Amino acid sequence: MNKLTNEEIRNYLPHRYPFLMVDKVISYELDKSITAIKNVTFNEPFFQGHFPDNPIMPGVLIIEAMAQTAALLGCISMPKPKDGTLYYLVGVDNTRFKRPVVPGDQLVLEAIFEKVRKNIWKFKAKATVDGQLVASADLLTTVMESDS
């Protein structure tokens, strides 16, 4: 079973605190699928305002966590790109939220590669907590080299 540590994730993704939404990758199969973990703690900065008396992880950040997971699958499946190359989220379709994510939850993030066409990668993604579906979406990403 292939895995990635947090250090290895940071070698692939440009995101850093407080926006790195993947703690570790627990399994992946190149060009096929990936499963990652995001541990949600009360110390997350977004809980200060969303919402102070009833902390709930914003849905857009759950989407971001799924997108970072999909980007990791793209990164590890392709030949190493030039420095400065970035994966961009260019579309989110068929998104559904099924239940709130709260402090103490462990998000299990899954992305399945569907196809690539004209440099647009399509993934099916979902997030679960304790085996219950939290969110799902179809994600579209692209890869762009830096201008510098």
Q: Please report, for the domain that includes residue 99, its CATH number.
A: 3.10.129.10
Q: Degrees (nearest 5) of the Cα angle 143, 23, 16?
A: 60
Structural domain harbouring 11: 6-144
Select from 6, 20, 23, 2 the least CA-distant residue to 106: 23
Per-residue pLDDT of the chain (148 residues; tens, 9 = 90+): 799 999 999 999 999 999 999 999 999 999 999 999 999 999 999 999 999 899 999 999 999 999 999 999 998 998 776 777 788 999 999 999 999 999 999 999 999 999 999 989 999 999 999 999 999 999 999 988 766 5
34 occurs within a structural domain: yes
88-117 pLDDT, tens digit per residue, is 999 999 999 999 999 999 999 999 999 999
133 occurs within a structural domain: yes
51 occurs within a structural domain: yes
30 occurs within a structural domain: yes
Give me the catalytic one of 50, 58, 112, 122.
50
Structurally, the chain folds into a number of domains equal to: 1
pLDDT at 144: 84
pLDDT at 79: 78
- 15 noted as active-site residue: no
In 32-111, alpha helices (H): 59-77
> DSSP assignment of 100-134, as one string?
---TT-EEEEEEEEEEEETTEEEEEEEEEETTEEE
pTM of the complete model: 0.95
1 occurs within a structural domain: no
